[in-house]
Amino acid sequence: MEGKYTLELFAEKKGLTKNSALNLLSKLKKQGYITVSGGGKQKRIYTIYKTPQEQANGFYTIVNKYSPEKLVPKFKHIVKGKYTVERAIIDGIKIGDVRTLTATEHLFRHLKNWKLLFDLAKKNKVIGKLHLLYKSARKNTKTKTMPKRYEK
Amino acid sequence: MIDIKDQEQLLKLISNLLKEDIVCTAIGGTAMMFLGYKETTKDIDLVFNDEKERQIFIEAIKEIGYKEKSLSGIYDQEHREHKKRPKMFSRGDERFDLFLKDVFGYKLGKKFIERRDFIGKKELIVYVLSEEELILLKGITGREKDYEDIETIMNTNKEIDWDLIVDNAIKQKTSNSWILIDLEENLQKLKEKFFIPHQIFDKIHQAEGKV
């Protein structure tokens, strides 16, 4: 039963009325087997999985929220705790391919804590790469200005 | 027994007790729970990249009352005497099996399909291996229930890449001489319930030098 369905298609496949199908979809959603996209003016699409899915909330969720250049996740990233734009920039640098870096540039605009960013960069030994990414972000995107004390 | 919620809360708690950020890889029941194949597991199996990180983790779990246990009763003699055996810690009926770099000679691949970050005072990053590597690993740990876990994965996931599993096993046969034999034994058992293409067995036999 895996795959994408509309309510009508799901009801037809299962041989159920629309109401019964909706009840079943809602039950499966609560158990984590279904994610829903759309709603409002858009038609809802139900994606059914073979195992219960936990919603990703890590790097790719942040990048795809803020960057106009969307990325297809290379892995599912789930975070327990506070995952911020600062951490996402460091993860983007560590993933390191061109597409990821280009998308990560857009996160500088949403940066709130330069100190945290530089502490994380120091811990992960990517300060040089962070400066390079920032320079490129300044050229290509609208970016907050780096405080003088962090400039190279 | 520990369920997914307990496991996540425990790892979050540990992230608050760590002295430094660490990275590890989840295998076995832990990985199966993260991927949604299981609801509970007896033990949390983790593989660390270096002894320093394993030691930091051990210090954190000791703080919450985990004590080192002998491997007897869990692993057979061959595994207990293996130089790449894990360190085992338990508290009540919860248990950690902590491996270093590899699992009984099996070197983990660099490809993972999920990453879980537990951000407390420090950061605990847990990578989760693919189903194919989990099946291969389940075949070499030789514990009770491991075969059942392979069946659980197979019952849910019909798109297992057998070629990838056999290729991985072949790559590792020099460091783990039993890997192909263990794999074939499991596949023969699985064949009674699931469809496994005969080319997969041919490939194993070829690598074993039987043909």
Interface test with B, best of A31, A54, A119 (most B CBs within 10 A): A54
Residue B72: pLDDT above 90?
no
pLDDT of residue A46: 94
pLDDT of residue B144: 63
- In chain A, what residues touch B118 (CB-CB under 8 Å)? 79-81
Q: Are strands B112-119 and A76-80 parallel, antiparallel or unpaired?
A: parallel
pLDDT of residue B60: 96
Residue B211: pLDDT above 60?
no
Burial class (CB within 10 angstroms; exposed 0-12, middle 13-18, buried 19+) of B181? middle
Residue A99: pLDDT above 60?
yes
- In chain B, what residues touch A81 (CB-CB under 8 Å)? 12, 15, 117-120, 123
Confidence class for position A140, pLDDT limits 50, 70, 90? very high
Which of B127, B125, B118 has the alpha carbon at shortest distance from B16? B118
> Do A44 and A65 fall within a single domain?
no
Q: What is the mean pLDDT of residues A12-36?
A: 94
Q: Which long-range contacts (CB under 8 A, 24 or more apart) does A95-103 make?
A: A95/A59, A99/A69, A99/A71, A100/A63, A100/A71, A101/A133, A101/A136, A102/A69, A102/A140, A103/A63, A103/A67, A103/A69, A103/A70, A103/A71
Is residue A53 a part of any domain in this protein? Answer: no
Could you tell me where in chain B the CATH 3.30.460 domains are found?
2-129
Is residue A54 a part of any domain in this protein? Answer: no
User: Following DSSP, what letter does each residue of B56-105 receive, concatenated?
Assistant: HHHHHHHHTT-EEE-SBTTB-HHHHT-TTPPEEEEETTEEEEEEESEETT
| Beta carbon pairs, A and B, within 8 Å | 52
Is residue A43 a part of any domain in this protein? Answer: yes
Amino acid at B175: S
Fold of B2-129: Beta Polymerase; domain 2 (3.30.460)
Is residue A69 a part of any domain in this protein? Answer: yes
Residue A40: pLDDT above 90?
no
Count of the separate structural domains present in chain A: 2
Q: What is the mean pLDDT of residues B59-73?
A: 91
Confidence class for position A118, pLDDT limits 50, 70, 90? very high
Percent over 90 (pLDDT), chain A: 84
Residue A38: pLDDT above 90?
no
The model's pTM is 0.85
Q: What is the mean pLDDT of residues B2-24?
A: 93
CA distances from B149 to B35, B40, B92, B103, B173 (A): 13, 11, 23, 17, 23
Q: What is the mean pLDDT of chain A?
A: 93
Interface test with A, best of B12, B30, B39, B114 (most A CBs within 10 A): B114
- In chain A, what residues touch B114 (CB-CB under 8 Å)? 75-78
Percent over 90 (pLDDT), chain B: 48
Helices B162-171 + B131-141 axis angle, to 10: 50
> Do A89 and A117 fall within a single domain?
yes
SS3 track for A131-145: HHHHHHHHHHCCCCC
Q: Which long-range contacts (CB under 8 A, 24 or more apart) does B107-111 make?
A: B107/B172, B107/B175, B108/B25, B108/B27, B108/B47, B108/B133, B109/B133, B109/B168
Is residue A18 a part of any domain in this protein? Answer: yes
- Give ipTM to 2 decimals: 0.80
Is residue A22 a part of any domain in this protein? Answer: yes
Residue A24, domain CATH:
1.10.10.10
pLDDT of residue A106: 96
CA distance B79 to chain A (A): 32
Residue of chain A minimizing CA distance to B7: A80
> Do A44 and A113 fall within a single domain?
no
Helices A59-66 + A98-105 axis angle, to 10: 60
- In chain B, what residues touch A78 (CB-CB under 8 Å)? 114-117
Among the partner residues B37, B115, B116, nearest to A51 by beta-carbon distance: B37
pLDDT of residue A23: 96
> Do A122 and A98 fall within a single domain?
yes
pLDDT of residue A95: 94
Residue-number span of the structural domain to which A99 is assigned:
59-150
User: Residue B28 has which token pair?
Assistant: 């076995």
Are A80 and B156 within 8 A, CB to CB? no
Residue B210: pLDDT above 80?
no
Confidence class for position B73, pLDDT limits 50, 70, 90? confident
Confidence class for position A53, pLDDT limits 50, 70, 90? confident
> Do A77 and A116 fall within a single domain?
yes
Q: What is the mean pLDDT of residues B190-205?
A: 90
pLDDT of residue B142: 65
Partners of residue B94 on adjacent β-strands: B91
> Do A115 and A145 fall within a single domain?
yes
pLDDT of residue B109: 80
